[in-house]
Amino acid sequence: MGGITKRPDGKWRARWREYPGAKEQSKHFPRRIDAEDHLAQVRADLLRGSYIDPRAGQTTFRDFAEEWRQIQTHRASTSHQVESYLRNHVYPVLGDKPLGGVRRTQIQAMVKGLSESLAPATVEVIYRHTAAVFKAAAADRLIASTPCVDIPLPKREPRVVLPLEVDAVQALAGAMPSHASAMIALAAGTGMRQGECFGLTLDRVDLLRRTVTIDRQTDPEGSASLTPPKTLSSHRTVPLPDVVVLALAAHIKRHPVGDDGRIFRPARGTHWRRNRFREVLRRARADVGGLVAAGHLPLTATVPESMTFHDLRHFYASLLIRHGESVKVVQARLGHASASETLDTYSHLWPDSEDTTRAAVDSVLGSVADYSRTSEGQW
């Protein structure tokens, strides 16, 4: 196991091996009793299986994080996000520090620094990736415990979804080039995500039954390949309104489907990329703004500069809610993982229930005012 010896300089050397045949380790102390206490602690940790090799904590955060990242079973989009966030935001702060040398206060300082330039939601995601790395290091017994404990994160400001006006959606569809116009109708009429629209193939559309099956999307990293949707709950079949069926049929007639079966393609190229479509959408927004300013379109057709493709998904959700669909139906149509996710995003769009509550009580107890007491303590 080891022992204690006195060095010529008067210090006491505690020696031990983690297991027979392992490299001997040692630590020096000014007093013999300190060396004995340390050796006793090492023996106890080895017996309990909680021993931490002091050299293991010298592994840098970057080296371990890269090893950890390569073995995760993340989806392609998540893997890309983790790599990007670690490289751009965490490695510059913690990358060269040994795992065992990172303190909780340093984690908190990193979070505060990120909060000065990034949105609270982004800071939270970066922190959770960082915490996952330290948790794995502790599980591998490279460090005794993780420094990511009770770290206050910036508070998210509640974001209220304001759906687009119907005139704005129609004006936007009219301002888009012909090879992209039907995609606006599809997203506004089904709530499909941008990547799901980009990756839609003809075999997933049933014009006879008026449904679309959503089980694929374009690769978030921009390649031509198709990947599974965002989550398991994103696999769904959505009914197609007549307006969307007509828009798709007209689009397919004008722009025949290619060999890969994709319904939507850019004017040049094999598949849409997010940044390329973003530019097309920006130009369409500007065109609509010009028409509104010139008085050719009503003010309700104004498309906010902050509008993104995802706002069409919000528009679809607002239509379902306005026409009395339940939370569960909206959840299923949008492919949300839970009803709470749907409520967290759209609860403010459901009709106010105060009048309904009053009517329900009045219908039952409406004549209570006519009651009179017949005796003390009785009606």
Convert the pLDDT of each residue in 311-354 to its tens digit. Answer: 999 999 999 998 889 999 999 999 998 998 898 888 888 876 56
Whether the per-residue pLDDT at 130 is higher than 80: the answer is yes
Domains of the chain: 2-51 (3.30.730), 63-139 (1.10.150.130), 166-349 (1.10.443.10)
Structure tokens given for 293: 């300013």
Residue 374, pLDDT above cutoff 50: no
Higher pLDDT, 222 or 80: 80
Neighbours of 65 (CB within 10 A): 27
Rg (CA), the chain: 31
Mean pLDDT of the chain: 87
Question: Which residues are 223's β-sheet partners?
Answer: none
Cα 159 from chain centroid? Answer: 15
pLDDT at 175 over 80: yes
User: What confidence score (pLDDT) does residue 296 get?
Assistant: 94
Q: What's the mean pLDDT in 110-123?
A: 94
**How does 101-115 read in b/e, with b if 16+ C-beta sit within 10 Å?**
ebeeeebbebbeebb
Q: Is the pLDDT assigned to residue 372 strictly greater than 50? A: no
